[in-house]
Amino acid sequence: MTSRGAIDGFLRERSYEIVGAAFDLGSPARGTAEGPRALREARLMAQLGSLEKLGVSVTDGGDVTGATEGTPGSNPRNLPEMLSFSSDLMERLGETYASGRVPVVIGGDHSITVPSVAAAAEFLRALRGDDARLGLLYVDAHPDLELPLGSASESGDLHGMSVSHLLGYGVDELANLGGFGPKLDPSRIAMVGLRDVLTEEREIIREREIQAYSFIDVERLGIVEIAKRVFGLMAERCDGFVLSFDIDACDPLEAPAVLYPEPGGLTYREATIIMEEAARAEGLLGLEMVEVCPARDRDAATAKLAVSLLRTALGGIVL
C-alpha cells in the first residue's frame, strides 16, 4: 500500500480516541486543567457515542496529567514542567495513532498543541518520510506567535508561543520535540477568528505569508467563504492536518469560560460551520479543543458548546 493509501485507509476507519490533556502551567491564569473533567461532565462521551450509528467509533483514553506547581524563574515560565508533560503527551498520542485511532485532545491550555501536533507530525513522517506535509488549522482569538523573554516578540507564557515552537522558533527543546523540527511550514497553516494580535505577530504572519483571517474578515467575507479557503488549503497543500480549536475563538457571550475573553468572536453558527467542514474534510489527523476554564462557566454553557462542536467535527452534521 502506498503512503497515501495508508493514510486514507487509516482515516477511513473513522475511529477516534479522547485523550485529556490536564495541563495549565502554560498560562499565568490557571483552571483549564479542569477542562477535560468539565467536558466529560457535559456528557461528552454520551454525545459522541450517539455517532456510532453513523459508523463512528469513539473511545475514552483517559487523561495525561501534568504538574500542578511550576518552576519559578524559568524562561519561559514553567518550562521544565512543560517539557515533562510534552514528552508524556506525545508518547501517549503515539500509542493512539499506533492503535489505529485519531486522537481528540481536550485541554488544558493551548500550550498542549506543541506535543499534540508533534505526535501527528511524527505519525505522518512514519508514513511519508521526512517530506511529509502536515497542516494546521488554528481557530483562536490569538495567533500564539510570541517568543520567550528577551526576544523581539517576548512573552513568558508558553500558551502564547505554540505556533512559534511548531515553526521552529523559541525554545530548542520544544521546537525540536521528538528529535525533529520544525513541525510545520508556514504555507500549510491557516488561522481563523483572530482578534488580539501583537504587532510582532502581525509582522510574522505577513512575512511568512500565513493564511490568517480576523474577526473583521469573518464579517467581510463570511464564514462559509473562509471555511472554503482554509479547508481548500489543507486539501491542496497537506497530506493531513490537525484542527486546533481554542474555545476563546467564540464570542464570550456564548463561551464565557475562557481565560482571555475578547468581544466579537465566532457565533455558535459560525463555529459549527467550521466543524461541519472538518467533518466533511479528508485528512483530519488530529482534533483539539482547548482553554475551557470551568470555574468561569455559567451553567456549563461553554463545556456544552465545546462538546457540541466536537460532536459536529466527528460527523454529527445536521444534514
Which residues are identified as catalytic?
110, 140, 142, 144, 159, 246, 248, 291
Secondary structure element (H or E) that encloses residue 227, with its range: helix 223-237
Least Cα distance to 147 among 135, 134, 157 occurs for: 157
Least Cα distance to 105 among 178, 189, 23 occurs for: 23
Distances (CA, A) of 270 to 228, 249, 298: 13, 10, 21
Q: Sheet with 284-290: list strands edge to edge.
A: 57-65, 15-22, 102-107, 284-290, 240-246, 134-139, 189-194, 211-214
d(CA 177, CA 115): 7
Q: Where are the alpha helices (DSSP H) in 99-211?
A: 113-128, 162-166, 172-175, 199-207
Please list the residues that pair with 212 across neighbouring strands: 191
**Cβ neighbours of residue 104 closer than 8 Å, sequence gap 6 or more:** 16, 17, 18, 19, 58, 286, 287, 288, 289, 310, 314
Cell output for 37: 473533567
d(CA 300, CA 295): 9
SS3 188: helix
